[in-house]
Amino acid sequence: MAWITRFLTAVAFLALGVIFSPETFGSKSGGPHSLGLYPFIKLAHLLSFSTAFGAALWVTFIGGIIMFKNLPRHQFGNLQSKMFPAYFSMVGVCCAISVAAFGYLHPWKSATTPEKYQLGFLLSAFAFNLSNLFVFSPMTIEMMKQRHKVEREANIGDEIGWSKNQEAAKTNPKLAAMNKKFGMIHGLSSLANIMAFGSLAMHSWYLADNDGRKSTRKRWCDVGGLSFRQILVAVLIPSILKRLSYWLVGWIGSRQGAQSFWTPGAVGTRILFVDDPSFHAAPGGQEAFGRGPWGGGALSIS
């Protein structure tokens, strides 16, 4: 994968050069684009963006889930350890090309406010993918290999799902500590991946609304009656904070055992975390039982 890293670095420097000095590459601030070069650069931007968006959609929400539910856990982990570096490298290269092409087509000096915001979204997607490629993904893979070694000593890991891991962790402090550390690192990697996908999704919304026209009549690039500022404040940011709060409560519950916590989304509802999914509350009052993301159960008692 060394050649991909070198190519990614070269494209990244090219993207930065286009952003800070577009005239060097033939882009005229406030002037007409080269009729011969403009269609090819626009095509490069669209193809690179669509490839990054499609790959992120498939790996994050479809392919990874299907593999986890159908492959033995160690086999799934080993496959992901080979796939993730290629995935983050490809998406990173596509994001860098998209940034360079968009910066060339919309030079900063003459760009409208919505176009500057879109450049920011593309740069954010690129940065989050780089953080996964060079920081979180290598740490996750290394911790996974260490945990696989401990699990093989306990004769687990060839099953599908987390059931045997959770059972063994109750009597194996070393495995429990590894599960905790792996969960934290993998959570950061997943968050960076979701943030990159969200940034690309915001750009897809812009492309759908722009419809090939340079719209200067909208200060915040209104889409569907909502501005980007309204989307961030009213939809995206609360959704991310809510997901993080639920993840934090679930993580604390899985670490502390059977204790009561207050859910961030429903104040006044007590949450009792239990390890036995067959556990039921005493009759009386409303209750709802479900399995948590860490393998334990969460019983809501109002």
Which pLDDT tens digits describe the chain residue by residue (302 residues)? 566 666 666 666 666 666 656 655 555 544 445 556 778 888 899 999 999 999 999 999 999 999 999 999 999 999 999 999 999 999 999 999 999 899 888 888 888 999 999 999 999 999 999 999 999 999 999 999 999 999 999 899 999 988 899 889 899 999 999 999 999 999 999 999 999 999 999 999 999 877 545 444 444 444 445 555 555 555 566 666 666 666 666 666 555 544 433 334 444 444 444 444 454 444 444 444 444 444 444 433 33
The CA distance from 63 to 58, in Å, is: 6
- The three-point CA angle 222-196-137 to 5° equals 175
Q: What is the pLDDT, as a whole number, of residue 138?
A: 95
Q: Give me the pLDDT at residue 111, please.
A: 87
Burial of 59 (0-12, 13-18, 19+ CB in 10 A): buried
Q: What is the pLDDT of residue 282?
A: 47
DSSP 274: E
Task: Note the pTM of the prediction, 2 decimals.
Answer: 0.64
pLDDT of amino acid 156? 92
Of 60, 123, 62, 71, nearest to 92 by C-alpha is: 123
- Residue 78: per-residue pLDDT: 96
pLDDT, tens digit, 9 for 90 and up, residues 189-216: 999 999 999 999 999 999 987 754 544 4
Say what the pLDDT of residue 22 is: 60
Nearest in space to 30 (alpha carbons), one of 119, 100, 111: 111
CA distances from 197 to 56, 121, 181, 220, 289 (A): 6, 10, 24, 21, 31
Q: Provide the strand spans (E) within 168-296.
A: 260-262, 270-274, 287-291
Dist. CA 115–CA 110, nearest whole Å: 10
Cα–Cα dist 149/154, whole Å:
9
pLDDT attached to residue 3:
62
Residue 300, pLDDT score: 37
- What is the model's pLDDT at position 37? 76
| pLDDT score recorded for residue 39 | 82
> Please, are residues 85 and 137 in contact by the beta-carbon 8 Å criterion?
yes
C-beta neighbour count of 134 within 10 angstroms? 14
- Whole-number pLDDT of residue 227: 57
